[in-house]
């Protein structure tokens, strides 16, 4: 089934043929991976996302913003009128440079803050640099994540377990804690969890654990900060075509058929989930807090 030509995201299309379907070629690359090295190249909304000013004047910090879902959210936020601070690892500079150009082409400000979220001191500095660079903070998107498939628990090292926990859970805690004093009433925190929180794969033990923790963190924090007028939600992607997958997130034999198991028969593209983050960040989502919103291609969260 040949994918349809790219249009703007509001034109009706058949979701079965909208984007590439497996099989895909094997494409191993070292973690954390680059979107530019993927085949097919992911769609982050570069040519299709159209904004309507729903985030005009807002200031957002997005972690893991160089590629994948974070990149798609950064593009969408900028085209909706927000200035964006981008966090990513230094080795992902080439992908991040493309995002900066897209944000600036939308007439918005981009603040780049590369660094390792496993470092608590950096997480605190990240928030302060974002606040200083943007002149404040209205939206926090905790999106960065580490995923490495391991077939047997006996082969899951303490080093990997620790790195996954620190990247996915500790960093979420550190960054959010540092950001809260800067967030005004009307602000929004959006965390990226996963279908793995409710349907864990046997080879993603540590990753699935962290995604369940993120979902619970979201619910607890939402109750805690509701009286401050701050909303907290999470988005749960299913199989999305991002650099996380070929760079160790899936075995290569799974990469070749990635997404075929869901009812729509293909992986989601980052551009398809970005509007959900926009909704949760915008005033249109003013009564939405403490929940997890799934985008899974038909699998139940």
Structure confidence at residue 301 (pLDDT): 86
**Which among 235, 234, 232, 233 has a CA at the least distance from the CA of 272?**
235
**Residues with catalytic roles:** 207
Structure confidence at residue 3 (pLDDT): 63
List the Cα angle 63/66/71 in 5-degree steps: 80
DSSP code at position 239: S
CB contact burial 249-272 (16+ within 10 A = b; e otherwise): bbeeebbbebbbebebbbbbbbbb
d(CA 3, CA 265): 13
Residue 237 burial by CB count (10 A; 0-12/13-18/19+): exposed, middle or buried? buried
Q: What are phi and psi of 268, to 5 degrees?
A: -75, 150
Structure confidence at residue 8 (pLDDT): 78
d(CA 146, CA 188): 23
pTM (whole model) above 0.75 = yes
- For the chain, which ranges sit under pLDDT 70? 1-7
Structure tokens at 207: 């990753």
Structure confidence at residue 1 (pLDDT): 54
Structure confidence at residue 10 (pLDDT): 84
Structure tokens at 65: 């913003």
One CATH from 2.60.120.260, 3.40.50.720, 3.30.1550.10, 2.60.120.860 for 54-295:
3.40.50.720
């Amino acid at each position: 089934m040949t994918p349809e030509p790219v249009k703007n995201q509001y034109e009706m299309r058949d979701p079965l043929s909208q984007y590439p379907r497996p099989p895909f070629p094997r494409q191993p690359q070292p973690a954390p991976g680059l979107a530019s090295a993927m085949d097919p190249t992911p769609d982050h909304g570069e040519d299709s996302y159209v904004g309507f000013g729903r985030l005009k004047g807002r200031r957002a910090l997005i972690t893991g913003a160089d590629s994948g879902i974070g990149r798609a959210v950064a593009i969408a936020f900028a085209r909706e009128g927000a200035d964006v601070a981008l966090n990513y690892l230094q080795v992902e500079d080439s992908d991040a440079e493309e995002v900066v150009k897209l944000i600036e082409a939308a007439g918005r400000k981009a603040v780049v803050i590369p660094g390792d979220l496993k470092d608590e001191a950096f997480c605190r500095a990240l928030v302060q640099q974002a606040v200083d660079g943007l002149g404040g903070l209205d939206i926090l998107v905790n999106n960065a994540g580490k995923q490495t498939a391991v077939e047997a628990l006996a082969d899951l090292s303490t080093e990997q377990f620790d790195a996954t926990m620190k990247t996915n859970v500790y960093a979420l805690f550190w960054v959010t804690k540092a950001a809260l004093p800067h967030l005004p009433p009307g602000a929004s925190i959006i965390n990226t969890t996963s279908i793995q929180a409710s349907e864990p794969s046997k080879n993603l033990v540590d990753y699935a654990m962290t995604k369940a923790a993120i979902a619970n963190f979201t619910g607890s924090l939402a109750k805690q900060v509701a009286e401050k007028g701050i909303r907290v939600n999470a988005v749960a992607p299913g199989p999305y075509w991002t650099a996380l997958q070929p760079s160790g997130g899936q075995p290569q034999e799974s990469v070749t058929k990635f997404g075929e198991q869901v009812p729509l028969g293909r992986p989601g593209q980052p551009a398809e989930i970005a509007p959900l983050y926009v909704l949760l960040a915008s005033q249109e989502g003013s009564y939405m807090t403490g929940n997890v919103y799934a985008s899974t291609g038909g699998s139940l969260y």
